[in-house]
Amino acid sequence: MRHGCHDAQAEHYDERVARHLGDYIRENYFGVLDRVIGCAELAPGQSVLDIGVGTGLLPERVKVDVAYYGIDISGSMMKKTRSKGLQLRLSYGCFQAIPFREASFDRVVSSFAFHHLGPEEKERSYREMDRVLRPGGRIVIGDFMFQDEKQREDLVGTFESEGRKDMIEELNEESFLDLSHDVPLLERLGYAIEYERLSTLSWVLACRRRSGSV
Ligand SMILES: C[S@@+](CC[C@H](N)C(=O)[O-])C[C@H]1O[C@@H](n2cnc3c(N)ncnc32)[C@H](O)[C@@H]1O
């Protein structure tokens, strides 16, 4: 199974999220999803791509009549989404090679999926998201992030003092986005960036293409 693929978690994913909202990983999970949709500022008729759509917790929150597309590397997670009867089109696909043509979408959104990619894959994925985005479009990512290495070290210190070996392992195994590295990279690609911290680990990064607006 490909790294990051959630086939094994699909059956109980939604229940597990709801049960662990009090712990670091799921802290304010639904608040992050709501903020991703809010920052996307969707308008009727737009086309939206959700990468790592999972069980559809993000599209469940969309109240605007948009053409919503979801891709994922887990067939089982998408099967769960299909069972919810949401208005969206699902297909197999990944961040690193998005299976759509240039300038296909007004918005690219993603929640809690990007941390499965290493730094080089992230860089490639930004170029892919940029490729499928229309001029004036937006990329909005909600996920685990650090402001910089100093903030990461502070968190390790907190987890050590709390005896949370599991969280230190999590920090070492997954690739949380480093804002001090990725924000300048996105700015060089032509985006104006805003970001906001919504829990101990989770942030929302909103990237607006500088040329024109949709
Ligand atoms: C933690 S779940 C989050 C799902 C959903 N976006 C949410 O917020 O509840 C991460 C999802 O990303 C998918 N995923 C992991 N790596 C991926 C990649 N490289 N490209 C696309 N999807 C990926 C997993 O299969 C899984 O469904």
- Percent pLDDT > 90 in the chain is 89
Domain boundaries, the chain: 7-209
pLDDT (mean) for 12-35 = 94
Task: Say whether pLDDT at 2 is over 80.
Answer: no
Ligand 1 atom 14, closest CA: 52
CATH number corresponding to 7-209: 3.40.50.150
| Closest ligand 1 atom number to CA of residue 117 | 19
Torsion angles phi and psi, residue 67, rounded to 5: -90, 105
Ligand 1: which of 2, 49, 53, 143 to mutate, judged by most atoms within 8 Å of the beta carbon? 53
Looking at residue 1, its pLDDT comes to: 60
Ligand 1 centroid from CA 53, angstroms: 6
49-74 residue pLDDT tens? 999 999 999 999 999 999 999 999 99
Task: Say whether pLDDT at 100 is over 50.
Answer: yes
Looking at residue 29, its pLDDT comes to: 97
Looking at residue 89, its pLDDT comes to: 98
Average pLDDT, the chain: 94
Ligand 1 centroid from CA 161, angstroms: 31
Alpha-carbon distance 192 to 213, whole Å?
A: 12
What is this structure's pTM? 0.95
194-209 residue pLDDT tens? 999 999 999 999 999 9
| Closest ligand 1 atom number to CA of residue 125 | 19
Task: Say whether pLDDT at 214 is over 50.
Answer: no
Pairing type for strands 47-51 and 133-146 reads unpaired
Task: Say whether pLDDT at 4 is over 90.
Answer: no
Ligand 1 centroid from CA 50, angstroms: 10
Alpha-carbon distance 187 to 193, whole Å?
A: 7
Alpha-carbon distance 65 to 43, whole Å?
A: 8
Q: CB of 113 closer than 6 A to ligand 1? A: yes
Looking at residue 15, its pLDDT comes to: 93
Q: CB of 58 closer than 6 A to ligand 1? A: yes
Ligand 1 atom 4, closest CA: 54
